[in-house]
Amino acid sequence: MKQRILSGIQPSGALHLGNYIGAIRQWKDLQDSSDAFFCIVDYHAITVPQDPQDLYDNIHQLAAMYVAIGLDPNKVTLFKQSDVSAHTELAWILNCFSHMGELERMTQYKDKKAKHKQRSTVGLFTYPVLMAADILLYQPHLVPVGEDQKQHVELTRNIAERFNQRYGETFRIPDVLHPKQGARIMSLDDPTKKMSKSATTERGYISLIDPPDVVMKKVKRAVTDSGDEVKAVADKPALTNLLTIYTAVTAKSIGEIEQLYVGQGYGRFKKELAEAIIEFLRPIQEKYNELIDHPAELQKILEAGKEKASTVAQITLDDVKTKLGVI
Ligand code: AMP
Ligand code: TRP
């Protein structure tokens, strides 16, 4: 039996290199050896205010990006969370098995709540419970995500164990899977912050649809550490981050890359890193632009995904409802 995997990303704008290196790269590597489900978590996106047209566009752009990056819709199930109503049904049920205290401890909630202050919603608070439902419905062995999602997967395991203890084996307890390198890609303008669209300025991240001149500019302006040695060491967090990106977009190991730049200083290193990123992004952007021009094809992929995901999710939901005594 192939291992089941499930992961998801919010449709909240173009993906950046952190998303690719921390999450999607592993998805791609796993698609042949596993039975994979990848979700566009649109109901998570509405935990903060969204413009309807932007959200609609972002959903389709994310679907196009999933395929452009190399996920093969014939091998994996690509679907939209709101298309499978079992997610919100199970989320309600799991709300009744989640404790206020454990949700209050979620760091992503604390950060987002601080940002939205009095307008922080209940949806933002129970966001991790919807994520637990996303995961548990599919009975996955592994959940490949970046490091910032580890706490949410741990919460998912706790909720699942609680339910299993009370009602007997119902959910598989999934393991989180982080990449060996790059589980936390840092911002280009501040290596103490993670690369993110919201936390830093545009200079801090490289979007997967940034044109070559923008990539070149952002890499050249990236913060470096004192000295001039290109080395991934603890007291060189900026260089370590740039080397992690370099190794992810090429077939070279960090050791090999360090060797290439002995005695060369940062200038050539940054220029060639930018070129490597541009080369890496070129085929992705070509495929992406082609798909964006064919919305009917994307629609077909999402329709097929909806069918497959609904069938699998319903089995778990029916089991849960039977155990609860509601069917
Ligand atoms: P988000 O864009 O925050 O919804 O994240 C989507 C996926 O990308 C999740 O699996 C995150 O853990 C991962 N991710 C986001 N930012 C980073 C980062 N800076 N480094 C590594 N992984 C990341
Ligand atoms: N919370 C995740 C993020 O912000 C997105 C997400 C929602 C997710 N549901 C999921 C990730 C299920 C993995 C599995 O990145």
The CA 10 to ligand 1 mean position distance, Å, reads 10
pLDDT at 116: 83
Residue 197 falls in the annotated catalytic set: yes
Q: Is the pLDDT of residue 214 over 80?
A: yes
pTM, two decimal places = 0.95
Given CA atoms 66, 70, 71, 74 in this order, what sign does their dihedral have? positive
**Residue 5: nearest ligand to its CA?**
2
pLDDT at 138: 98
Q: Is the pLDDT of residue 166 over 70?
A: yes
> Is the CB of 194 inside a 6 Å radius of any atom of ligand 2?
no
CA-wise closest residue to 230 among 187, 182, 269? 269
The CA 151 to ligand 1 mean position distance, Å, reads 13
Lowest mean pLDDT among 186-200, 259-273, 293-307, 309-323: 186-200
More reliable by pLDDT, 198 or 291: 291
pLDDT at 183: 93
pLDDT band at 199 (very low <50, low <70, confident <90, very high): low
> Is the CB of 149 inside a 6 Å radius of any atom of ligand 1?
yes
Over residues 18-55, the pLDDT tens digits come to 999 999 999 999 999 999 999 999 999 999 999 999 99
- Helix then strand then coil, % of the chain, to nearest 5: 60, 10, 30
Residue 270 falls in the annotated catalytic set: no
Domain ranges in the chain with CATH number 3.40.50.620: 3-177+295-324
Residue 252 falls in the annotated catalytic set: no
Over residues 229-250, the pLDDT tens digits come to 999 999 999 999 999 999 999 9
> Is the CB of 174 inside a 6 Å radius of any atom of ligand 2?
no
Q: Percent of the chain, pLDDT > 90?
A: 93
For the domain made up of 3-177+295-324, the CATH class stated in words is alpha beta
Over residues 107-156, the pLDDT tens digits come to 999 999 888 888 889 999 999 999 999 999 999 999 999 999 999 999 99
pLDDT band at 297 (very low <50, low <70, confident <90, very high): very high
Q: Is the pLDDT of residue 272 over 70?
A: yes
For domain 202-289, give its CATH number from 1.10.3720.10, 1.10.10.10, 1.10.240.10, 1.10.300.10. Answer: 1.10.240.10
**What gap in Å lies between CA 154 and CA 173, rounded to an integer?**
10
**What gap in Å lies between CA 140 and CA 177, rounded to an integer?**
12
Q: Is the pLDDT of residue 290 over 70?
A: yes
Over the chain, what is the mean pLDDT? 96
CA-wise closest residue to 56 among 45, 67, 47? 45
Domain ranges in the chain with CATH number 1.10.240.10: 202-289
Q: Is the pLDDT of residue 185 over 70?
A: yes
Over residues 54-103, the pLDDT tens digits come to 999 999 999 999 999 999 999 999 999 999 999 999 999 999 999 999 99
**What gap in Å lies between CA 30 and CA 4, rounded to an integer?**
10
> Is the CB of 18 inside a 6 Å radius of any atom of ligand 1?
yes
The CA 318 to ligand 1 mean position distance, Å, reads 32
